Amino acid sequence: MLQLQSIGISPNTAGVEVRERMWFTPEEARAALQRLAGEHFGEAVLLSTCNRTEFYGMPRRQGMD
């Protein structure tokens, strides 16, 4: 069974100082997704806005990719 993994921060979980440090520009988001998808995840999505950053990924399975 494949398991979706997620991690994120929002105004409910982190102060503005932390959220500002975790914000990605579009170029940074593309680069991060390429690294993560290439090394650890078969599929991945990164959402970064002024208030939240969220990552969702489907881990690679041995022998499947």
Catalytic annotation, residues = 50
Q: Which of 40, 45, 53 lies closest to 14, judged by CA?
A: 53
R_g (Cα) of the chain, nearest Å: 13
Say how many C-beta atoms besides its own lie within 10 A of residue 41's C-beta. 19
